[in-house]
Copies of this chain bind each other. A is one copy, B any other.
Amino acid sequence: MTRKVGVIGQGHVGETLANNLLVTGTVDKLVLIDTNEKKLNANVTDFEDAAANLPTHTKVLRNDYGALGDADVVVIAVGDIGIQNDDAKHDRFMELKVNSRAAKEVGTKLKEVGFNGVLVSISNPCDVIAALFQKYTGLPKDQVIGTGTLLDTARLHKVVGQALNVDPRSVTGYALGEHGNSQFAAWSQVRVLGQNITDLAAASDDLDLDALAEATKAGGYTVFHGKLYTNFGIAAAALRLVTAILNDANIELPCSNFREEYGTYCGYPAIIGNGGVVKQLQLNLTPDEEKKLAKSANYIRTRFDETAQKLAAE
């Protein structure tokens, strides 16, 4: 038994998550997979070089799909964010072509080895790729999750926290929808200092929610333009999600999960435990927020349909 986790993709995000799992002693067996064997071997060797100086022990396996058959969680971190860099207008959908093919290939392999744990997909565009993994693994929808707006929500909590000099963990509420350009801060759900943030903003000259929403969305681009990738924020989000699944925590986390009413994956809070999505929340959003969410979900679904058709035709 014990904890067994796979990470597929050893780029910036996958390797940082693997390191987080090792340094915190969260897993007992870690299966790392990448098509670039040279890079994979470099990382595995580097992780093995860390072992003697860490307090706990983790067995690291390399490129062994068979070992994922009985994994508790498999995290998808495939992708080449460098592709995004070719475009003047930064867009996570630049990665869609490459990552959708990876979803088909990797998803099919996971199905073949009988993987029946929880799949957590980070690869962009997050919501579409998570949906493709659900399709190709054939796993129940509850067992496939995208990190979705978990990172965007962390950014939202950060900007609110910075504005009010409060720890981001003391801010509640969510960024909803696509992990991408159509996401939005659902201000009706955000509470801080024991108040609805909309009440605080109404009573304050300084607290500008539009500016905070802008800062939340801009977060990733700031990081991206400074180093051409992002890794630490998303890896911390994935570490939390993986830990919640292993713990069977039944914790509330906003992430990309399949919403029946929209017929698509999108970022929305859910209760996360051993089986993945244990329960879905039903928020009382404002009409305006409902409209934004429907639009964002619609965009994801459209892109998913297009992509699924293309892949079927290949």
Contacts and interface: CB of A to CB of B under 8 A. Distances in A.
Given A167-B252, A249-B167, A158 B52 contact: yes
A4 interface: yes
A170 B2 contact: no
A54 B157 CA distance: 13
Max chain B Cβ within 10 angstroms of own Cβ: one of A51, A53, A271: A53
Nearest to A18: B232
Q: What copy number does this chain have within its complex?
A: 4
Nearest to A224: B42
Contact of A28 (B155, B161, B248): B248
Contact of A236 (B3, B53, B279): B53
Interface string A234-251: 111101100110111111
Nearest to A150: B53
Contact of A232 (B24, B39, B49, B158): B49
Contact of A194 (B230, B274, B281): B281
Nearest to A253: B170
Contacts of A20: 19, 23
Contacts of A189: 194
Given A38-B226, A42-B225, A166 B271 contact: yes
* Contact residues of A: prevailing secondary structure: helix
B219 A49 contact: yes
Contact of A246 (B2, B154, B195, B282): B2
Nearest 4 pairs between A and B by C-beta?
A42-B226, A49-B233, A55-B55, A50-B236
23 contacts: A1-B3, A1-B70, A22-B232, A28-B247, A39-B226, A41-B226, A42-B222, A47-B233, A48-B158, A48-B233, A49-B220, A49-B230, A49-B232, A50-B236, A51-B169, A53-B239, A54-B240, A165-B279, A166-B250, A167-B250, A167-B251, A193-B252, A193-B271
Given A48-B162, A49-B158, 19 more contacts: A1-B4, A2-B3, A2-B274, A19-B235, A22-B232, A23-B23, A24-B24, A43-B223, A45-B226, A49-B233, A49-B236, A50-B154, A52-B157, A55-B56, A167-B271, A170-B271, A191-B191, A193-B271, A195-B282
